[in-house]
Amino acid sequence: MPPQGNSPSLEDLMKQLATSNLEFQQSVSSSNMQFQQNMNATIQDLKTQIGQLANTVSQQPSLANNSESERERECSYAEKRKRTISTSTAAAEIS
């Protein structure tokens, strides 16, 4: 069947397909490059944040030291309270 006068030839269709394919590949390549740049920037930001967190954590006193200090304060407060109550009770018994 011969080509009709108003429809594009097979050769023209192939050229158009090749051009569209090339444009698509370039678009995908550009998108991939942009994605890679964004990913690299995000990774760098995360590395910076992790480094900052590591510095902050390393400057904190250890939990064992905090717990021990807290227990010492609580025991000290309890001992003072016992003495105060004992003194108050003894004073009440004397009077």
Radius of gyration of the chain (CA): 40
Residues 20 and 49 reside in one and the same domain: yes
Q: Is residue 17 part of a domain?
A: yes
Q: Is residue 83 part of a domain?
A: yes
Left (φ > 0), alpha (ψ -120 to 50) or beta: where does 3 sit?
beta
Range of the domain at 69: 64-95
What is the share, in percent, of the chain residues with pLDDT greater than 70? 78
The Cα diameter of the chain in Å comes to: 129
How many distinct structural domains can be found in the chain?
2
Residues shown for the chain: 95
Angle at 78 (CA atoms; ends 75, 82), nearest 5 degrees: 140
Q: Is residue 1 part of a domain?
A: no
Whether residue 8 contacts residue 16, with contact meaning beta carbons closer than 8 Å, is answered with: yes
| pTM of the full structure | 0.51
Residues 52 and 78 reside in one and the same domain: no
Residues 47 and 88 reside in one and the same domain: no
pLDDT value of residue 67: 63
